[in-house]
Structure 1
Amino acid sequence: MTSRSMACHDLPIPDLAFRNLALALLRRRPRPSAARSHGPAVQSARRSACRYGAIPLTLALGSAAWIGAQPAQAAPAPAPATSAVVQEILDGKELYIDQQQARVKQRAAAPQAISTRNSRGQLQFQNGAVGRINRLSRLQLGAACFQLDRGQILVSGPQAGCTRSARMSVRGTNYVLEVDEQGAAELSVLEGTVEVTPLQDGEPDPQASPVTVAAGQRLQLSPEGVVITLLQLAAGDYTSILNGPLFEGFRLPLPAMGALDTYIRANVPGVRIPSVPGGSRLPGGYPLPGFIPRLF
């Protein structure tokens, strides 16, 4: 059977949906003759909608109606942290890859570990996200995420992070993750949203539900991944982070800094992001978003 002779009830599901949309629109047209009878013009239009899925009509009206009828698509999973490049090392040279002193532009690959003593560093993951690792910290690169074993890291961009008991799934956000010596964790979402999934033996715990942490919130987890508290970040918390070791002295920009600056301007009055030493600029000489002087 050809497409021209195919009956409406034989159409594939997408074509049938287009046909239904076209017929509904035709029925709603404010033409008295069309409302009272099935004249030749209406019958011809309906036959065309039936035969061709009403694609030309739908495109003429815009794709919004069809797109709006589709179910929401799940956010893509962030890229795994299988490799990272050292971009900056501050406060000496005590940044290591598998206990060997690292250098700028050196690449680490899973399952290697990156650690610091009295130095700080900036890493760029293979998906373009950036991590700033504080002093006395250690993380291990992995297939699903990086695992922070101790210390503190600021993540800017769509990079998932893990502790031994939880996974942080993100999409283009800025967050700070901290793990103490006992394995207790603290997650501060500066901008964006993070979904925290409890883990059991490295896999999502089927008995526990994920927790969504929104911008401006801080989540505290026990070493076993149990939620202890979910608090609101105050302006003083933002000031402490922005003027602390995860921002102070770094020269290279963060990929999601513009989004962070926009959120802070709108939601945290009186707080401002410190400028980058040397006046960092984007390629092409444009000023870095978020570091343009405030005019109000």
Structure 2
Amino acid sequence: MNIKFNPPWLRYSYRQLFLTGLCFSLILSFLHHPLVVQSATINQAKITEILDSSQVYINGNQARIKAIARKGQRVSTRNARAQLSFNTGGVGRLAHNSVLTVGQCAHLRRGTLLVNGSVNGCTNSTTAGVRGTTYMLTVDETGHEEIQVLEGEVVLRKRVNPGIEDEKVIRGLGKKGSSVKTISSSIENELIAQEEELESHTVRLGAGEKVKIRPNGEVGKVQPLTAKEFEQLLTGKLFNDFTTQLPGIDNIKDSFQRLFPGVSFPLPLPLPNIPIIPQIPRLPF
């Protein structure tokens, strides 16, 4: 008589138990070690709108609408505002007297940048990792920084290396008026390496929160935005006068109303597209 001590149904049960335990372990590992928010690599930024004057430049050369700034190139404004469309699908808006370098992140060196969508912003001291978020990044003339989150979540990381010095980028790009449009491969690789060297310590900001960062990289206490501060952002220079509304305006409204119930949202929302019904021609009798 052949006695089976390990029938097929028992082997199947063992496999099921093993797979269930493995899945449970992976879930626990993910909850204990959440993934760092990452966006797609920024390769270029297209200028889609210019306001107030024509003083928008790429590497010191005056730029027009549809001009493209590529990795390592710098977009700057004087007495003008500009809207940028990144290859990641995100949108950025620069205020007057702002300087931004296109790299692994949108590197704001001076001024104010409004970001909507999948665009990681950074400064000389900090990188802001996002996914589908709207936030404001400011760097003043003294090097003090501030990040204000309107909706979504931003994960701040302190940068180990502040990045390549300006003269290195300028040397790779050529002087003003030069026909050289792209940086050398060695400079580009150095830029990428600099952008990726980050510390593991993070600070998380949710919707309606802000934080200030000192020039030495010291991150201040996370504080809530007041209703007045939020309204001032929505009615300020990076929301007014642009011909196109931000793609995530509905999410911003939901965030505002959740944070400040009973307070009217200060911006008009775009009207839905209503199909036009063609008129039926009248008969001649």
Contact 2:56 2:82 in 1 (8 A): yes
Cα distance, 1:100 vs structure 2 = 1.3
Cα distance, 1:113 vs structure 2 = 0.4
CA distance in 1, matches of 2:160, 2:233: 31
Match for 2:154: what amino acid? V
Match runs of 1:272-291 below 5 Å: 272-275=265-268, 279=270, 285=273
Q: Who is 1:169 aligned against?
A: 129
Match for 2:223: what amino acid? L
Distance verdict in 2 for CA 1:219–1:99, change over 3 Å: same
Between Structure 1 and Structure 2, how many residues are aligned?
A: 231
| 1:239 is the counterpart of 2:203 | no
CA distance in 2, matches of 1:109, 1:280: 35
Distance verdict in 2 for CA 1:124–1:244, change over 3 Å: same
Contact 1:162 1:168 in 2 (8 A): yes
CA distance in 2, matches of 1:274, 1:89: 21
Match for 1:250: what amino acid? F
Provide TM-score, normalisation by structure 2. 0.72
Q: Which of 98, 101, 106 is residue 146 of structure 1 equivalent to?
A: 106
Contact 2:37 2:129 in 1 (8 A): no
Contact 1:166 1:199 in 2 (8 A): yes
Distance verdict in 2 for CA 1:112–1:69, change over 3 Å: closer
Gaps of 5+ in 2: 163-193, 276-285
Match for 1:191: what amino acid? E
Q: Which of 190, 201, 208 is residue 150 of structure 2 equivalent to?
A: 190
Contact 1:253 1:280 in 2 (8 A): no
Q: What SS does the corresponding residue of 2:245 show, helix, strand or coil?
A: coil
Distance verdict in 2 for CA 1:241–1:76, change over 3 Å: closer
CA distance in 1, matches of 2:264, 2:9: 60
CA distance in 1, matches of 2:266, 2:86: 23
Match for 2:57: what amino acid? Y
| 1:46 is the counterpart of 2:10 | yes
Q: What SS does the corresponding residue of 1:274 show, helix, strand or coil?
A: coil
Q: Who is 2:139 aligned against?
A: 179
Match for 1:160: what amino acid? N
Higher relative contact order (CA 8 A, sep 6+): 2
Match for 1:154: what amino acid? L
CA RMSD after TM alignment: 2.9
Gaps of 5+ in 1: 1-6, 9-42, 288-296
| 1:218 is the counterpart of 2:210 | yes
What is the identity percentage for the equivalent residue pairs of Structure 1 and Structure 2?
32
Contact 1:161 1:169 in 2 (8 A): yes
Match runs of 1:7-26 below 5 Å: none
Match runs of 1:69-218 below 5 Å: 70=27, 71-72=29-30, 74-75=35-36, 77-142=38-103, 144-202=104-162, 204=197, 206=199, 209-218=201-210
CA distance in 1, matches of 2:25, 2:255: 28
Cα distance, 1:209 vs structure 2 = 2.6
Q: What SS does the corresponding residue of 2:97 show, helix, strand or coil?
A: coil
Cα distance, 1:150 vs structure 2 = 0.6
Match for 1:166: what amino acid? T
| 1:255 is the counterpart of 2:247 | yes
Contact 2:37 2:155 in 1 (8 A): no
Deviations 1:187-208 (A, max 9, x none): 00111111111123235564x8
CA distance in 2, matches of 1:200, 1:166: 9
Q: Which has the larger radius of gyration?
A: 1
Deviations 1:229-251 (A, max 9, x none): 42210000011000000100112
Deviations 1:14-36 (A, max 9, x none): xxxxxxxxxxxxxxxxxxxxxxx
Distance verdict in 2 for CA 1:66–1:107, change over 3 Å: same
Cα distance, 1:272 vs structure 2 = 1.0
CA distance in 1, matches of 2:230, 2:37: 29
Q: What SS does the corresponding residue of 2:46 show, helix, strand or coil?
A: strand
Distance verdict in 2 for CA 1:271–1:174, change over 3 Å: farther
